[in-house]
């Protein structure tokens, strides 16, 4: 899956022509390209598996789910596809005259009926086997639309069909379609970011489990840089990093803040690997000596402390590839394979202009990044981390909330359920519960985490969403997933 996800090839061109949004594919940052590519292709878990033959709905763009039927499927689906009004509107929105694309579609249908699209040449040239999927059931018609659009454009510009088609439509129409296809060609996606290709970047991957110090070591490099960027998956994380940088809570790389005797036991896991004496590198109250001017930019919030602030903390979708940084940190890099948001991480890896690019996340992201960087020629250094505190699996609650104890953390997956559990636990146990979830204002979320971590406060239990798994540091005795425990 990883290799398939990042072998960005000419097949990706189909994505933009299946867009209902006209010129939306012209976004300069390329994120639309990658997002749609990632959601368009999935590997078959067992390509030799044969399932019962499906019956296609009369007016739909269904598809077979096994390769051997793609060839027989093509003629019937091409005719239905060529008659769709959305296909006509899309072609017209790209500047192709109606009279011309109607003639081309008619000839395309005739070619499919005659079997010319299922010859060995055509199968290899247009990659017809893509029609075998598999596709998510709720997106099957959309995916078939994209593939047929790509096959249609490739067929039109094929030199083998030149003499036949130029007798039906002007040569300028075919040239125009060739230019559109060339504009969408992602055979070499790294070339979309010429500024990043002009510099020799050093890419440092920090990979390891939660609470291993990987992200913090990258943030120390950021705190020591003349200019830098933090890009994370959540506005809460972006806000937290912004707050820590502006308050001077992160000790810059190379600075020794004190001796091991002064270490705060709560913060002891945050240790520099190059220091031998276990010096704490996060300060709860901050230190003006380490405070940096940093701006905050997310989809919901902007805090511009200074127009020319040297540091920026942002959500990854808000990152610009046109700004030069000494150090850039991209968090949760395993999100690069996410179907919905992975394009933003791909664009960041390919396009960020930084002398040092730090990528923090899970081990499973390593092969993907290695594939991407084959196209860029950047130096890659991989630093692996071990968990600094033990992770023990507790006994399941088995539906009995009276077994919740002080220091426990309950994880569920909706805001409504979080507050339901809060009320139930407080009623059954008498323990007070702090809450944390993605849409909670950053200041409130930080305050709730601090109350839970403070052993002298009255808050004994944390109840939160899966946002807890992305950067929120908690002193947890036992964590229970409500999805499977109750």
pLDDT band at 67 (very low <50, low <70, confident <90, very high): very low
Q: Which of 63-67, 197-201, 289-293, 345-349 comes out lowest in average pLDDT? A: 63-67
Please count the CA atoms within 13 angstroms of the CA of 41 that sit on its side-chain side.
23
Q: Which of 137-151, 327-341, 370-384 comes out lowest in average pLDDT? A: 137-151
Whether residue 256 is predicted with pLDDT greater than 70 in this model: the reply is: no
What's residue 351's pLDDT?
Answer: 95
Note the pTM of the prediction, 2 decimals. 0.64
Residue length of the chain: 486
Q: What percent of the chain has pLDDT over 70?
A: 74
Whether residue 463 is predicted with pLDDT greater than 80 in this model: the reply is: yes
- CA-based end-to-end distance of the chain: 33
What's residue 168's pLDDT?
Answer: 85
Instruction: Give 70-92 pLDDT, tens digit per residue.
Output: 566 778 889 999 999 999 999 99
Contact 345, 321 (CB under 8 A): no
Average pLDDT over residues 275-293: 60
Contact 365, 207 (CB under 8 A): yes
Q: Which residues contact 289 (CB under 8 A, 6 or more apart)?
A: 248
Q: What is the CA radius of gyration of the chain?
A: 27
Q: What mean pLDDT, rounded, does the chain reach?
A: 77
* Omega of the bond leading into 134 within 30 degrees of 0 (cis): yes
**Diameter over CA atoms, the chain:** 86
Whether residue 193 is predicted with pLDDT greater than 70 in this model: the reply is: yes
What's residue 285's pLDDT?
Answer: 65
Average pLDDT over residues 305-324: 94
What's residue 263's pLDDT?
Answer: 33
What's residue 210's pLDDT?
Answer: 82
3-state DSSP assignment of residue 408: strand
3-state DSSP assignment of residue 184: coil
What's residue 441's pLDDT?
Answer: 75
The torsion defined by the Cα of 273, 368, 372 and 240, in degrees rounded to 10, comes to: -50
Contact 168, 9 (CB under 8 A): no
* Partners of residue 354 on adjacent β-strands: 325
Instruction: Give 379-421 pLDDT, tens digit per residue.
Output: 999 999 998 877 676 677 878 889 888 888 888 888 899 999 9
Contact 144, 137 (CB under 8 A): no
pLDDT band at 451 (very low <50, low <70, confident <90, very high): confident
Q: Where are the alpha helices (DSSP H) in 167-307?
A: 171-183, 194-197, 214-223, 235-247
What's residue 390's pLDDT?
Answer: 75
What's residue 466's pLDDT?
Answer: 73
Whether residue 5 is predicted with pLDDT greater than 50 in this model: the reply is: no
Buried b / exposed e over 136-165, threshold 16 CB at 10 Å, is: eeeebbebbbbbbbbbbbbbbbeeebeeeb
Question: Which sign, positive or negative, has the C-alpha torsion 238, 286, 461, 386?
Answer: positive
What's residue 295's pLDDT?
Answer: 96
What's residue 268's pLDDT?
Answer: 29
For every residue of 417-456, DSSP letters joined together read HHHHHHHHHHHHH--EEEEE-TTS-HHHHHHHHHHHH-TT
Q: Which of 154-158, 299-303, 375-379, 455-459 comes out lowest in average pLDDT? A: 455-459
Element (H, E) at 462: strand 459-464
Contact 13, 150 (CB under 8 A): yes
Q: Which of 219-233, 267-281, 455-469 comes out lowest in average pLDDT? A: 267-281
pLDDT band at 478 (very low <50, low <70, confident <90, very high): low
What's residue 480's pLDDT?
Answer: 60
pLDDT band at 481 (very low <50, low <70, confident <90, very high): low
Average pLDDT over residues 321-336: 95
C-alpha pair distances (Å), 110 with each of 13, 61, 317:
24, 18, 44
Residue 326 exposed, middle or buried by CB count within 10 Å (0-12, 13-18, 19+): middle
Instruction: Give 81-128 pLDDT, tens digit per residue.
Output: 999 999 999 999 999 999 999 999 999 999 999 988 888 898 888 888
Residue 439 exposed, middle or buried by CB count within 10 Å (0-12, 13-18, 19+): exposed
Whether residue 319 is predicted with pLDDT greater than 50 in this model: the reply is: yes
Whether residue 445 is predicted with pLDDT greater than 90 in this model: the reply is: no
Q: Which domains does the chain have, with CATH numbers?
A: 2-187 (no CATH), 191-384 (3.40.50.300), 401-485 (3.40.50.300)
Whether residue 469 is predicted with pLDDT greater than 70 in this model: the reply is: no
What's residue 327's pLDDT?
Answer: 97
Instruction: Give 14-23 pLDDT, tens digit per residue.
Output: 343 444 433 3
């Amino acid at each position: 899956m990883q290799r398939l996800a990042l072998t960005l090839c000419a097949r990706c061109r189909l994505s933009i022509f299946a867009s209902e949004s006209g010129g939306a594919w012209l976004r300069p940052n390329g994120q639309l390209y990658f997002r749609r590519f990632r959601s368009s292709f999935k590997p078959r878990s067992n390509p030799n598996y044969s399932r019962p033959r499906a019956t296609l709905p009369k007016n739909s763009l269904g598809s077979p789910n096994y390769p051997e039927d793609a060839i027989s499927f093509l003629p019937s689906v091409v005719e239905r596809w060529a008659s769709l009004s959305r296909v006509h509107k899309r072609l017209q929105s790209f500047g192709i005259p109606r009279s011309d694309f109607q003639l081309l579609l008619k000839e395309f249908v005739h070619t499919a009926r005659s079997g010319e699209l299922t010859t060995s040449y055509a199968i290899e040239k247009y990659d017809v086997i893509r029609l075998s999927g598999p596709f998510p059931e709720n997106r099957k018609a959309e995916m078939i639309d994209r593939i047929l659009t790509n096959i249609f454009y490739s067929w039109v510009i094929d030199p083998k069909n030149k003499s036949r088609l130029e007798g039906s439509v002007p040569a300028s129409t075919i040239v125009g379609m060739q230019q559109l296809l060339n504009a969408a060609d992602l055979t070499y996606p790294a070339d979309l970011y010429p500024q990043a290709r002009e510099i020799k970047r050093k890419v440092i991957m920090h990979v390891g489990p939660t609470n291993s110090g990987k992200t913090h070591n990258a943030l120390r490099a950021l705190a020591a840089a003349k200019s830098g960027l933090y890009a994370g998956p959540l506005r809460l994380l972006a806000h937290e990093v912004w707050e820590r940088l502006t308050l001077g809570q992160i000790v810059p790389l190379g600075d020794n803040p004190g001796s091991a005797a002064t270490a705060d036991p709560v913060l002891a896991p945050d240790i520099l690997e190059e220091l031998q004496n276990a010096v704490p590198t996060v300060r709860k109250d901050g230190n003006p000596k380490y405070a940096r001017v940093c701006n905050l930019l997310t989809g919901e919030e902007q805090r511009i402390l200074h127009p020319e602030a040297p540091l920026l903390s942002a959500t990854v979708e808000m990152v610009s590839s046109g700004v030069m940084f000494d150090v850039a940190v991209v968090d949760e890099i395993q999100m690069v394979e996410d179907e919905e948001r992975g394009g933003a991480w791909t664009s960041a890896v390919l396009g960020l202009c930084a002398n040092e690019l730090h990528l923090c996340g899970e081990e499973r992201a390593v092969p993907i990044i290695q594939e991407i960087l084959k196209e860029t020629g950047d130096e890659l250094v991989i630093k692996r981390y071990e968990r600094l505190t033990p992770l023990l699996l507790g006994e399941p609650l088995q539906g009995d909330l009276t077994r919740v104890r002080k220091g426990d953390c309950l994880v569920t997956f909706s805001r409504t359920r979080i507050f339901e559990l809060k009320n139930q636990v407080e009623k059954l146990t008498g323990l007070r519960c702090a809450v944390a979830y993605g849409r909670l204002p950053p200041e409130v979320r930080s305050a709730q985490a601090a109350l839970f971590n403070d052993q002298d406060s009255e808050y004994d239990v944390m109840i939160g969403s899966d946002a807890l798994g992305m950067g929120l540091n908690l002193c947890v005795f036992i964590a229970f997933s409500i999805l499977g425990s109750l």
